[in-house]
Amino acid sequence: MNASAAVAAAVVPAAGRGERLGPGAPKALRELGGVPLLVHAVRALARSRAVGLVVVAAPADGVAEVVALLDSHGLDGKDIRVVAGGATRQESVRLGLAAIPEDVEIVLVHDAARPLVPVEVVDAVAAAVRAGAVAVVPAVPLADTVKRVESNPGGPEPVLDTPDRATLRAVQTPQGFDRATLAEVHAKALAEEAAGGTGVPPVTDDAGLVERFGGRVVVVPGHEEAFKVTRPLDLVLAEAVLARRRAADAY
Ligand code: CTP
Ligand code: MG
């Protein structure tokens, strides 16, 4: 691997609406401590020496706004590019990936909605890919017991079974990949969709695509502060975590 190939590029899908967060701006542009979630997320990646380039997949109608936003937050010293995202997270990642130079061999994919990921997690994921894994996910053990149910929205749902919690992990981002592997599974998924789909449930993360096509995925320790801002209560928690960091070290 040459020097530029050893430096990772990161794709940040940021084109979602944030329906579950409630009415307001697109989620990536909602503020945490006065700074948009997206800016926090890009800073968290840029802080890692493993990351040389960040490609943001912005809402298709908000590319110019996102470029201006990143400039105004002093991120112009790093190599940061903005492309238009797509209708699904998977499409946004695929479009971001297409904007990464050919010689980059390690790609991280990080949700704009995970603004507080510690740099240690970013470094650990990139290091595991550099050490030879084709797909790496940071993850944490679950606090709750999980049950599989027969879906019956609005009504009682019969329980099918209860997986052994000790074997379950909640996965986070950034997820790290050998670039060729990630590009290949995204291309295969696109071809499947074009052919009318397969009837299997949709894959909700990039590592899931690697699994779907038979690749090996490994887990490294994640961090409780890498949680995803999904619902209003998550924003309350994120504000509290940020306030604690700012109090601790003038963050
Ligand atoms: N995302 C994206 N393009 C989409 C949909 C989602 O880039 N078409 C991104 C989001 O911006 C977010 C990440 O994927 O950073 C994780 O998705 P999620 O938490 O589901 O965010 P939203 O889709 O915005 O939220 P919701 O599902 O509540 O609408
Ligand atoms: Mg979503």
8-state DSSP, 200: S
Q: Please work out whether the CB of residue 133 comes within 6 Å of at least one atom of ligand 1.
A: no
Say if CB 134 and CB 177 are below 8 A apart: yes
Say if CB 138 and CB 222 are below 8 A apart: yes
Output the average pLDDT for the chain: 95
Q: What is the mean pLDDT of residues 75-85?
A: 88
DSSP per position, 133-192: -SEEEEEEE-SS---EE---TTS---EEE---GGG-EEE-S-EEEEHHHHHHHHHHHHHH
Q: Please work out whether the CB of residue 18 comes within 6 Å of at least one atom of ligand 1.
A: yes
So what's the pLDDT on residue 197? 81
79 Cβ neighbours under 8 A, 6+ residues apart: 52, 53, 54
pLDDT tens across 150-170, in order? 999 999 999 999 999 999 999
pTM of the model: 0.96
So what's the pLDDT on residue 217? 98
The β-bridge relationship of strands 79-84 and 51-58 is parallel
Angle at 28 (CA atoms; ends 25, 33), nearest 5 degrees: 90
**Ligand 1: nearest atom to the Cα of 229:** 19
pLDDT at 116 over 70: yes
Which stretches within the chain are classed as H helix?
Answer: 3-6, 37-46, 63-72, 89-97, 119-130, 179-194, 206-212, 232-249
Q: Please work out whether the CB of residue 60 comes within 6 Å of at least one atom of ligand 1.
A: no
pLDDT at 222 over 80: yes
Say if CB 149 and CB 158 are below 8 A apart: yes
Q: Tell me which ligand sits closest to the C-alpha of residue 205.
A: 1
Q: Which residue has the tokens 């990039």?
A: 206
Q: Which two three-digit tokens encode residue 214?
A: 């038979």
So what's the pLDDT on residue 200? 81
**Ligand 1: nearest atom to the Cα of 228:** 19
So what's the pLDDT on residue 4? 56
Q: What is the mean pLDDT of residues 82-107?
A: 97
pLDDT tens across 21-70, in order? 999 999 999 999 999 999 999 999 999 999 999 999 999 999 999 999 99
Residue 172 and residue 224: Cα distance in Å, rounded? Answer: 9
